[in-house]
Copies of this chain bind each other. A is one copy, B any other.
């Protein structure tokens, strides 16, 4: 590979310039082979901040607009990066592909299954790729675990778990429903709102859409008490104290895969807790678990015959031994960007795929399947935890080998 070697210029339009959008734009703007040709948001203060950032960093001044259709109409824009509110990602992506633009999207869940199908169909019809920027697929830990899985350390995989377990009470409690989508989602919806940080890596461990796929799902939601309790204690008198939150504090989702594996997801954002993605991987030969940094591998982990059960090992030595080649090279090159460096990798995976004409490492079928979990979980909860089928967005193509990303950013093989 040639990490850090610039390829041909890619001209981007950036749509959505909240905190995350500006951060990712700034990271893209450090790449010599990327030009930010246009920046767009509903709010002109954000557009100005983005514009000024680029100029201050001696990058070309971008075109600015409050209407994303303007970006889609710019012939010089080859690809767009969508970082708007969760519920607008797919519609903008569909419009962008129809306008001939390649698409990357920040994470978030789908609001309906139909919009996922629409995204898939438009990508198929236009031949344009659509990549979910699931940065956690490129986390050092997740890629190392992927490497362990591929090398058979866990034997045949049987069960994976993960969660988005992040105390967001003070974030949600800021109460800016106009300018941040999160509050509205927690007030109105009830489901697995944010599945992809854990599901993305798990999907790659389990070969989802590549010889395996998710077939059904059931979700259950607890009562919603955490956000209001926090508001009453920390924001007494705020009108938000009287708001009814629909989103259950803990939403648990069980997914069954075609090859018989189960996946357990937890959404846990309105109760006090340390952050954790709650990872767990189990196979016929071993287990890894995030919360205690523990691993146990049959035939490898030390066995104390005098003790009645197995004992955990620290995963530290395994993490070193199985470090993914991309991360070995990346650390030599030097980590950059947010979230421990994984933001940079997922953006480079997108940019370099465009430059080299390769399929995206996270393609439109992955994007649709992972985002669909949100809508499906809402449906299941609305029906009292009925199981719902997970659509096969590949129309059967998951059963056969098909074109996929090859190269350093590959997540499938």
- A interface vs B, CB < 8 Å? 155-156, 158-159, 166-167, 216, 218, 220-223, 225-226, 229-230, 248-250, 252, 254, 256, 259-262, 264, 268, 271-275, 282-287, 289, 291-292, 294, 296-298, 308-312, 384-387
Contact = CB atoms under 8 A, between A and B. Distances in A.
Contact of A310 (B155, B167, B222, B248): B167
Nearest to A254: B220
Contacts of A226: 158, 284
A310 B158 contact: no
In the assembly, how many copies of this chain are there? 2
B286 A272 contact: yes
B223 A384 contact: no
A223 B275 contact: no
Contact of A271 (B248, B272, B282): B282
Contacts of A256: 220, 222, 385
A158 B218 contact: no
B282 A250 contact: yes
A226 B154 CA distance: 11
Contacts of A298: 272
A308 B170 CA distance: 12
A321 to B, nearest CB: 19
Contact of A292 (B216, B252, B291): B291
A216 B262 contact: no
A252 B298 CA distance: 23
A287 B223 CA distance: 16
Contacts of A155: 229
A154 B289 CA distance: 25
Given A226-B158, A291-B289, A384 B216 contact: yes
Contacts of A268: 159, 282
Contact of A166 (B296, B309, B385): B309
The A contact surface, by secondary structure, is loop
Contact of A285 (B158, B216, B272): B272
A222 B230 CA distance: 38
Contact of A275 (B166, B167, B309, B386): B309
Contact of A272 (B248, B289, B297): B297
6 contacts: A158-B226, A166-B309, A229-B285, A252-B262, A271-B284, A274-B310
A291 B284 CA distance: 21
Nearest to A166: B309
Nearest to A308: B275
B275 A216 contact: no
Nearest to A275: B309
Nearest to A289: B291
Nearest to A389: B384
Contact of A250 (B159, B218, B249, B272): B159
Contacts of A286: 272
A283 B248 CA distance: 12
Given A167-B309, A291-B292, A310-B167, A158 B260 contact: no
A250 to B, nearest CB: 4
A220 B273 CA distance: 27
A274 B158 contact: no
Q: Which 4 pairs between the two chains have the least Cβ-Cβ distance?
A: A223-B260, A275-B309, A229-B284, A159-B250
Contacts of A289: 291
Contacts of A222: 158-159, 256, 260-262
A275 B159 CA distance: 17
A287 B266 CA distance: 15
A218 B218 contact: yes
A271 B309 contact: no
B274 A223 contact: no
A310 B275 contact: yes
A248 B284 CA distance: 12
